[in-house]
């Protein structure tokens, strides 16, 4: 029998043919080789199951996904136009805005992961970045535009770094687990924000003391918009800052002694200590760098398109938590986080504001994002199952051909 | 040989993903015979015995016990058929008495449900008398020595009616005295008609106790020979597949200035218990000082304190005359201390890193590897390529993951890294643990060469043979103290006595 080359079966890669070890060693080989099969399958299965939920509620999953696709502006790629007054380019620009945020919150999780730490506190670190950027963007109204923006962005990143650094410090000194302390710090950030911008709070709107909302970031402190209209949430230059952050992430990890230390501690803290690397220093530093990414996300959002924050916005935001799914799906690599952020950015906008659908209730659609997110987090933890199913299918196919 | 064959294993084949652990292995055991199963780590000894004991199922082949073909699906089947196994790691319950452990799972009862403790102790006493296995049936397992625990394991097997006894590396945990007592026990069991399979990778032991020796190499039976006519050299050759130099060729030491000095060192372990209590010694350039001792007598804490990995309570460590109290691991490295750690996989290597990255583990932040915090991976690779060749690391190149190498080659990577830094003091902790004969030969030769280069070498090993053949001076560590110091010829018995604190275990 000749080897089947049906459309469903990609040809066997030489690497896979060479791998004759156990299932676990094959998985690790695939992970090391940056294999894309499992993350893609993970996403596909999550979408299929999400579709099943849609079907179970009596809606048409194909039409729903088509509407979400259009809602995210992805149909723009078929008919590109730069006129953002039209629906498709506008939707796409909004997807890119979400992507910008998610790249950075994803990196915040991924960097800590590479040091063996689980940073659940991206949300809190994002908030403090948001708050600090709002404070700076609404103060010093006489400052020149360039320095004002720069200070705002750097201060937001620094705030995130300090916020996460607290968790790192507690872990390094008294051994408090970072998962617990970052979750606690999320709540502290939420209530600090509620106080700051709430009625009578120090950063509450100075014109109207009746609404629990901040002042607006002054025009000069707003990030330049390169696509679309500033009034209508155009895409700001923070998008490029996020792309640059992906490159920086890769460079720091793979081309600096700092990255070497982070990876050594992440893989084997005992061997790192034996090698002369201080584990506690790296735990604090890796958390701080993680937090800087999330804080930067908050700073860019505030100066890029939000300009203000209301107390009621705080509990709704989930971009920090979505960063966990982005990092897991992207396997904590730069390219993976970039692609994962785009996927979730599209879902986030495509199931909410962008959605114009007769096929599905918008409320159900926005829940779909979280269903898919949850499934992806679940599946990434269950790589073995996915790979097992994949191999079984391959075997069955061969058997059927024999 | 006696014709009375108790057990025959024919054509046993067992395949694990990616490796054939047993490839048509045949083995036979006569009544009253001690038959040694000899082979390096990974040769397939344990797999074969686990198949016999019902823990694994063979892919092919048959087992014939007392003339009848048998298939065991669990250890219970094997035990019922009269096979007993004493594992390397004992499976005893420390809080229960010797007698309770022995009868566990098959307890004598009185009045239908109560444990007949007196009966159990009586039965154990009979057994231990019959086979000359001295243990106190009413003692708690946690309070008896390792050697006695092993006897309890043997008694447990006998109590369950075993007449085929598998002993898996039984001397690995014993002192020389305990080992020779074990050999006495084996002989009395043999005289009683029991058949014994003795698993080992130690040539001298096998030649001392076995009637026949079967050598396994890479899952295949190489040969079965009678003890008469076999020599250490011939067995080593069969095990490794080539001629092996067993003796370490070692010219007399030419000691120079003192490079490592330890003075009145006190160290506590993680639980705050003092493990090193006032140890003092010195190591000079060009000599190997060996530290002998039973595992857990403070060796790990001593090494960690010298290398800066553990804080010392009091005392002093001097490297080449420089005071190094409370130094960090980094400072000790910079002072010129190289360290081959006792656990290469947990501490010596980052298994997920490449060989090149592992070789840079101490120097990754210094030129030429890095400059101003910027790392140059190509230079790491270059350096690794040279060392891989120099230290004869096989099975991969600079970009191979360290975890993918065999144990011997992993250890060569560690040795290459430590020696290439040109340390004044080299601490080698169990440098050949778990390695095969070929790799041991290489590392021993290398250590002597480094000694002759003028390094001060501190060798810590649980293998007394290793200590005796490499050391110029020997210290014996017992309960955190130096219990003996020897220069020149010293007998194994003398050191064995000191390893037990000078007290001989009550027989």
Structure-token match 């009966």, residue found: B119
- Hey, are the CB atoms on B347 and A260 less than 8 Å from each other? no
Instruction: Look at residue A215 and give its three-state secondary structure.
Output: coil
- Show residues of chain B in contact with A271, CB under 8 Å: 346-350, 361
pLDDT in tens, B305-350: 999 999 999 999 999 999 988 899 999 999 999 999 988 888 999 9
Instruction: Identify how many contiguous H helices and E strands chain B contains and give both numbers.
Output: 16, 24
pLDDT in tens, A176-202: 999 999 999 999 999 999 999 998 899
Q: Are residues B61 and B172 in the same domain?
A: yes
Q: Are residues B228 and B290 in the same domain?
A: no
Distance CA A210, CA A199 (A): 7
Q: Does B250 map to a domain?
A: no
Question: What is the pLDDT at residue B456?
Answer: 96
Nearest CB to B365 within list A21, A257, A274: A257
Instruction: Identify how many contiguous H helices and E strands chain A contains and give both numbers.
Output: 16, 2
Q: What is the rounded average pLDDT of the residues B44-51?
A: 88
Question: What is the pLDDT at residue A3?
Answer: 34
Q: What is the rounded average pLDDT of the residues B400-404?
A: 87
Q: Are residues B483 and B361 in the same domain?
A: yes
Q: Are residues B387 and B271 in the same domain?
A: yes
Q: In this structure, what token pair is assigned to residue A173?
A: 């000194």
Q: Does B413 map to a domain?
A: yes
Taking a C-beta distance cutoff of 8 angstroms, is the pair B44, B219 a contact? yes
| pLDDT at residue A17 is higher than 50 | no
Q: Are residues B232 and B296 in the same domain?
A: no
Q: Are residues B44 and B154 in the same domain?
A: yes
DSSP codes of every residue in A241-301: HHHHHHHHHHHHHHHBHHHHHHHHHHH-HHHHHHTT--HHHHHHHHHHHHHHHHHHHHHHH
Which of B344, B361, B380 to probe by mutation at the A interface, max A CB count within 10 Å? B361
Which of A257, A265, A280 to probe by mutation at the B interface, max B CB count within 10 Å? A257
Work out the minimum CA distance from B340 to partner chain A, whole angstroms. 10
Q: Are residues B282 and B169 in the same domain?
A: no
Q: Which residues pair with B22 in a beta bridge?
A: B14
Distance CA B504, CA A325 (A): 63
Work out the minimum CA distance from B444 to partner chain A, whole angstroms. 23
- Choose one of B210, B240, B270: the last residue of a domain: B240
Q: Which of these, B332, B288, B273, lies nearest to B480 by C-alpha position?
A: B273
Whether the CB of B67 is below 8 Å from some CB of chain A: the reply is no
Q: In this structure, what token pair is assigned to residue B284?
A: 């000079």
- Hey, are the CB atoms on B347 and A258 less than 8 Å from each other? no
CA dihedral A304, A309, A314, A318 (to 10 degrees): -10
Q: Does B504 map to a domain?
A: no
Distance CA A52, CA A115 (A): 37
| pLDDT at residue A53 is higher than 90 | no
Taking a C-beta distance cutoff of 8 angstroms, is the pair A245, A293 a contact? yes
Structure-token match 């992805």, residue found: A74
Taking a C-beta distance cutoff of 8 angstroms, is the pair B354, B398 a contact? yes
Which pairs from B392-395 meet CB under 8 Å and 24+ separation?
B392/B442, B393/B355
- Hey, are the CB atoms on A271 and B374 less than 8 Å from each other? no
| pLDDT at residue A30 is higher than 70 | no
User: What is the CATH number for B353?
Assistant: 3.40.50.300
Q: How is residue B123 annotated by DSSP?
A: H
- Hey, are the CB atoms on A267 and B346 less than 8 Å from each other? no
Q: What is the rounded average pLDDT of the residues B155-177?
A: 87
Question: What is the pLDDT at residue B506?
Answer: 37
Q: Does B72 map to a domain?
A: yes
Alpha carbon distances (Å) from B493 to B148, B175, B203, B430: 19, 9, 19, 21
Q: Which residues pair with B427 in a beta bridge?
A: B339, B458
Q: Does B245 map to a domain?
A: no
Q: Which of these, B211, B214, B174, B248, lies nearest to B448 by C-alpha position?
A: B248
Nearest CB to B329 within list A256, A258, A276: A276
Q: Are residues B368 and B487 in the same domain?
A: yes
Instruction: Look at residue B8 and give its three-state secondary structure.
Output: strand
Nearest CB to B348 within list A20, A260, A271: A271
Whether the CB of B399 is below 8 Å from some CB of chain A: the reply is no
Q: How, if at all, do strands B5-16 and B60-65 pair?
A: antiparallel
Q: Does B506 map to a domain?
A: no
Alpha carbon distances (Å) from A299 to A132, A151, B3: 8, 10, 87
Q: Does B471 map to a domain?
A: yes
Question: What is the pLDDT at residue A20?
Answer: 35
Q: Does B435 map to a domain?
A: yes
- Hey, are the CB atoms on A268 and B346 less than 8 Å from each other? yes
| pLDDT at residue A31 is higher than 60 | no
- Hey, are the CB atoms on A274 and B18 less than 8 Å from each other? no
Question: Buried b / exposed e across B104-125, counting CB within 10 Å, b at 16+?
Answer: eeeebeeeeeeeebeebbebbe
Question: What is the pLDDT at residue A174?
Answer: 94
- Show residues of chain A in contact with B309, CB under 8 Å: 273-274
Q: A146: number of CA atoms within 13 Å, CB side?
A: 0
Q: In this structure, what token pair is assigned to residue B304?
A: 């960690």
Taking a C-beta distance cutoff of 8 angstroms, is the pair A356, A71 a contact? yes
Q: A279: number of CA atoms within 13 Å, CB side?
A: 19
Whether the CB of B401 is below 8 Å from some CB of chain A: the reply is yes
Distance CA B458, CA B495 (A): 18
**Dihedral sign from CA coordinates of A220, A221, A224, A230:** negative
Distance CA A72, CA A192 (A): 33
Taking a C-beta distance cutoff of 8 angstroms, is the pair A160, A126 a contact? yes
Q: Are residues B119 and B58 in the same domain?
A: yes
pLDDT in tens, A70-115: 889 898 888 888 777 788 889 999 999 999 999 999 999 999 999 9
Taking a C-beta distance cutoff of 8 angstroms, is the pair B455, B423 a contact? yes
pLDDT in tens, A107-130: 999 999 999 999 999 999 999 999
Q: Are residues B337 and B440 in the same domain?
A: yes
Taking a C-beta distance cutoff of 8 angstroms, is the pair A295, A125 a contact? yes
Alpha carbon distances (Å) from B192 to A286, B1, B8, B109, B189: 66, 17, 21, 28, 5
| pLDDT at residue A1 is higher than 80 | no
Q: Are residues B224 and B264 in the same domain?
A: no
Which of B308, B310, B350 to probe by mutation at the A interface, max A CB count within 10 Å? B350
- Show residues of chain B in contact with A278, CB under 8 Å: 328, 330
- Choose one of B186, B208, B240: the last residue of a domain: B240
Element (H, E) at B156: helix B146-159
pLDDT in tens, A341-381: 999 999 989 888 878 777 777 777 778 888 888 888 787 76
| pLDDT at residue A4 is higher than 50 | no
Q: Are residues B344 and B393 in the same domain?
A: yes
Work out the minimum CA distance from A165 to partner chain B, whole angstroms. 21
- Show residues of chain B in contact with A268, CB under 8 Å: 346, 349-352
Task: Look at B297 and B404; give whichever has higher pLDDT.
Answer: B297
Whether the CB of B310 is below 8 Å from some CB of chain A: the reply is no
| Highest averaged pLDDT of the listed ranges B13-17, B136-140, B302-306 | B302-306
Question: What is the pLDDT at residue A35?
Answer: 63
Angle among Cα A121, A348, A155 to the nearest 5 degrees reads 40
Query: Which B positions 7-26 lie with beta carbon below 8 A of chain A?
Result: 17-18
Q: Please report which confidence band the pLDDT of residue B504 belongs to, taking 50, 70 and 90 as the band edges.
A: very low
Q: Which positions in chain A have a beta carbon within 8 angstroms of at least one beta carbon in chain B?
A: 20-23, 25, 32, 254-261, 263-264, 267-268, 270-276, 278
Q: In this structure, what token pair is assigned to residue A291?
A: 């937090």
Question: What is the pLDDT at residue A375?
Answer: 86
Whether the CB of B194 is below 8 Å from some CB of chain A: the reply is no
Work out the minimum CA distance from A252 to partner chain B, whole angstroms. 9
Structure-token match 């190499």, residue found: B217
**Dihedral sign from CA coordinates of A198, A202, A207, A213:** negative
Element (H, E) at B288: strand B287-292
- Choose one of B213, B240, B267: the last residue of a domain: B240
Cβ neighbourhood burial of A377 (10 Å; 0-12, 13-18, 19+): middle
Domains and CATH numbers, chain A: 27-401 (1.10.3470)
- Show residues of chain A in contact with B17, CB under 8 Å: 20-23
Q: Which of these, A274, A349, A232, A29, lies nearest to B339 by C-alpha position?
A: A274
Work out the minimum CA distance from B194 to partner chain A, whole angstroms. 40
Q: Which of these, B127, B45, B32, lies nearest to B88 by C-alpha position?
A: B45
Domain count across chain B: 2
- Show residues of chain A in contact with B347, CB under 8 Å: 270-271, 274
Which of A115, A260, A263, A285 to probe by mutation at the B interface, max B CB count within 10 Å? A260
Share of chain B above pLDDT 70, in %: 98
Q: Which of these, A193, A191, A212, lies nearest to A133 by C-alpha position?
A: A193
Residue B191 lies in domain: 5-240
pLDDT in tens, A239-288: 999 999 999 999 999 999 999 999 999 999 999 999 999 999 999 999 99
């Amino acid at each position: 029998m000749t080897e089947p080359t049906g459309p469903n079966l990609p040809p066997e890669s030489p690497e896979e043919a060479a791998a004759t070890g156990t299932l676990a060693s094959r998985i690790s080989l695939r992970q090391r080789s940056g294999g894309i099969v499992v993350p893609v399958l993970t996403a596909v299965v999550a979408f299929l199951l999400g579709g099943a939920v849609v079907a179970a509620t009596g809606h048409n999953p194909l039409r729903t996904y088509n509407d979400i696709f259009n809602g995210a502006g992805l149909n723009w790629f078929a008919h590109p136009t730069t006129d953002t007054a039209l629906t498709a380019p506008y939707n796409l620009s909004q997807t890119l805005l979400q992507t910008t945020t998610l790249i950075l919150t994803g990196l915040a999780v991924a960097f800590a992961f590479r040091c063996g730490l689980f940073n659940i506190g991206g949300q809190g670190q994002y908030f403090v970045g948001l708050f600090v950027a709002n404070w700076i963007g609404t103060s010093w109204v006489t400052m020149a535009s360039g320095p004002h923006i720069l200070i705002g962005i750097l201060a937001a990143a620094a705030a995130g770094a300090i916020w996460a650094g607290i968790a790192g410090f507690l872990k390094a000194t008294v051994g408090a687990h970072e998962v617990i302390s970052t979750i606690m710090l999320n709540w502290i950030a939420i209530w600090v924000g509620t106080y700051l911008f709430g009625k009578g709070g120090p950063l509450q709107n100075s014109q109207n003391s009746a609404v629990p909302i901040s002042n607006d970031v002054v025009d000069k402190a707003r990030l330049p918009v390169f696509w679309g209209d500033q009034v209508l949430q155009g895409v700001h230059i923070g998008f490029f800052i996020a792309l640059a952050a992906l490159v920086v992430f890769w460079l720091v990890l793979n081309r600096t002694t700092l990255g070497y230390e982070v990876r050594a501690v992440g893989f084997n803290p005992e061997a790192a200590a034996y090698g002369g690397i201080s584990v506690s220093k790296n735990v604090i530093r890796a958390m701080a760098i993680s937090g800087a990414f999330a804080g930067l996300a908050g700073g860019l959002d505030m100066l890029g398109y939000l300009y203000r924050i209301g107390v009621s916005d705080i509990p709704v935001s989930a971009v920090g938590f979505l960063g966990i799914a982005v990092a897991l799906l992207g396997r904590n690599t730069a390219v993976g986080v970039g692609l994962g952020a785009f996927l979730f950015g599209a879902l986030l906008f495509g199931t909410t504001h962008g959605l114009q659908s007769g096929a599905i209730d918008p409320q159900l659609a926005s829940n779909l994002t979280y269903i898919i997110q949850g499934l992806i987090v679940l599946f990434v933890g269950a790589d073995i199952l996915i790979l097992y199913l994949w191999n079984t299918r391959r075997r069955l196919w061969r058997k059927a051909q024999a | 040989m006696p014709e009375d064959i108790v057990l025959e294993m024919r054509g046993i084949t067992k395949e694990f993903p990616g490796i054939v652990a047993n490839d048509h292995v045949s083995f036979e055991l006569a009544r009253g015979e001690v038959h040694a199963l000899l082979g390096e780590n990974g040769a397939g000894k344990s797999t074969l015995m686990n198949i016999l004991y019902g823990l694994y199922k063979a892919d092919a082949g048959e087992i014939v016990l007392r003339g009848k073909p048998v298939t065991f699906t669990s250890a219970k089947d094997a035990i019922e058929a009269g096979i007993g196994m004493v594992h390397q790691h004992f499976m005893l319950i420390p809080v229960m008495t010797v007698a309770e452990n022995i009868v566990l799972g098959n307890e004598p009862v009185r009045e239908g449900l109560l444990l007949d403790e007196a009966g159990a102790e009586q039965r154990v006493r009979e057994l231990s008398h019959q086979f000359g296995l001295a243990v106190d049936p009413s003692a708690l397992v946690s309070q008896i020595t390792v050697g006695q625990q092993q006897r309890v394991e043997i008694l447990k097997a006998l109590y369950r009616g075993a007449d085929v006894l598998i002993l898996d590396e039984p001397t690995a945990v014993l002192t020389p005295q305990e080992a020779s007592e074990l050999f006495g026990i084996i002989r009395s069991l043999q005289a009683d008609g029991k058949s014994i399979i003795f698993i080992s990778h130690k040539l001298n032991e096998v030649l001392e106790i076995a009637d026949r020796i079967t050598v396994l190499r890479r899952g295949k039976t190489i040969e079965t020979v009678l003890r008469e006519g076999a020599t250490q050299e011939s067995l080593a050759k069969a095990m490794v597949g080539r001629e092996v130099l067993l003796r370490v060729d070692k010219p007399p030491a030419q000691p120079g200035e003192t490079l490592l000095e330890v003075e009145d060192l006190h160290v506590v372990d993680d639980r705050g218990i003092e493990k090193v209590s006032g140890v003092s010694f010195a190591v000079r350039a060009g000599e190997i000082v060996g530290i002998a001792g039973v595992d857990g007598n403070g060796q790990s804490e001593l090494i960690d304190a010298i290398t800066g990995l553990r804080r010392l309570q009091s005392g002093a460590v001097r490297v080449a005359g420089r005071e190094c109290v409370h130094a960090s691991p980094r400072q000790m490295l910079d002072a010129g201390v190289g360290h081959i750690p006792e656990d290469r996989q947990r501490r010596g290597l980052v298994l997920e890193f490449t060989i090149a990255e592992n070789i840079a583990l101490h120097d990754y932040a210094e030129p030429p590897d890095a400059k101003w915090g910027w790392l140059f991976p190509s230079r790491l690779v270059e350096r690794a390529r040279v060392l891989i060749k120099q230290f004869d690391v096989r099975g991969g190149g600079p970009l191979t993951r360290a975890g993918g190498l065999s144990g011997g080659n992993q250890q060569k990577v560690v040795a290459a890294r430590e020696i290439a830094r040109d340390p004044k003091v080299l601490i080698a902790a169990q440098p050949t643990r778990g390695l095969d004969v070929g790799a041991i030969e290489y590392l021993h030769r290398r250590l002597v060469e480094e000694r002759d280069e003028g390094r001060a070498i501190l060798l810590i090993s649980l293998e007394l043979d290793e200590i005796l053949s490499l050391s110029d001076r020997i210290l014996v560590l017992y309960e955190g103290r130096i219990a003996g110091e020897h220069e020149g010829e010293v007998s194994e018995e003398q050191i064995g006595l000191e390893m037990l604190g000078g007290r001989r275990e009550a027989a």
